[in-house]
Amino acid sequence: MFDIDWMSLALPFAYISVLGGSLYTFSTIYRKRKASENANLEPWFPPHLQRNIYLTLLHMEPEAGQEKAPKVPDSVIRAALLRRAVEDIRRIFQIRTSKQALNTLLQRGSVGDDLNQRFLRAEREIQEELKDVMSEANALAPGWGQTIFQSANEIFYNTQLRADLEEIESRAAADKEWWEKKRETIQKEFMKELDQESSTKSSTKGVSDDEGVLVDSGTPAATPSGPSKKKKGKK
């Protein structure tokens, strides 16, 4: 049998153990530091007001002097959950709109990694929020979790359409006033051009009439010479 020199192998094993322990400690400290930095980052979205309202209605506490909390109708809780889903749809739309622009800025180096970390955290939070809403909807009404976001999507786009129409109507009076002023300016400029053309034509006509008068006044002086020559010929 071969004799193993354990003393000569102790040093390499000790080196590998120290190296592995150092790498593990470094990775642990690094992950904790990144987690603390991400936790201290400013959130991408403001506080979720609709979610807070829903949770308040769902877990209402009894008032002072009462043993039981007031019963909230199921229709009110469902409406609150639907409004929460509508807000989630709005945030999803904003994330999809901002993602391409953020990737472009990151490639150019125009923004730092902190902004990207905030965006990634917002994506994770919205995914967890969607799962939570679906589970809450299924708890209130079996199968509602499959259709709640479809209804929320329709409500969101109808709200956006009404907001756009109201904005257009609010700008209609200002746009009409602007167009009236623009039309008056165009009319004044057009009439000014017509006046200039008419004055140019009248001046040109006056010059041509004067030339015609000069030509007519010079022609009779030449006519008497003809008959005088004829009379001399007869003599």
- Position 203 scores a pLDDT of 66
Instruction: Give the tens place of pLDDT for each residue, 58-88.
Output: 888 766 667 777 788 889 999 999 999 999 9
User: What sign for the dihedral angle of Cα 198, 203, 204, 206?
Assistant: positive
Mean pLDDT for the stretch of residues 195-201: 76
Tell me the two tokens of residue 233. 């010929």
Where is average pLDDT lowest: 20-34, 45-59, 92-106? 20-34
- Position 1 scores a pLDDT of 47
Average pLDDT in the chain: 79
Tell me the two tokens of residue 24. 């593990």
Find which of 106-115, 131-140, 218-227 is predicted with most confidence, using mean pLDDT.
131-140
Cα 11 to Cα 6: distance, rounded to the nearest angstrom? 9
Contact 129, 81 (CB under 8 A): no
Where is average pLDDT lowest: 2-6, 109-113, 177-181? 2-6
pLDDT band at 127 (very low <50, low <70, confident <90, very high): very high
Q: What is the largest CA-CA distance in the chain?
A: 174
- Position 167 scores a pLDDT of 84
User: What sign for the dihedral angle of Cα 191, 195, 198, 204?
Assistant: negative
Contact 85, 136 (CB under 8 A): no
91 or 173, which is more confident?
91
- Position 223 scores a pLDDT of 46
160: number of Cβ within 10 Å: 12
pLDDT band at 43 (very low <50, low <70, confident <90, very high): confident
- Position 153 scores a pLDDT of 94
Mean pLDDT for the stretch of residues 20-37: 74
pLDDT band at 230 (very low <50, low <70, confident <90, very high): very low
Share of the chain above pLDDT 90, in %: 29
Residue 4 pLDDT exceeds 70: no
Find which of 17-26, 35-44, 112-121, 144-153 is predicted with most confidence, using mean pLDDT.
144-153
DSSP label at 41?
Answer: S
Mean pLDDT for the stretch of residues 147-152: 94
pTM, full prediction: 0.59
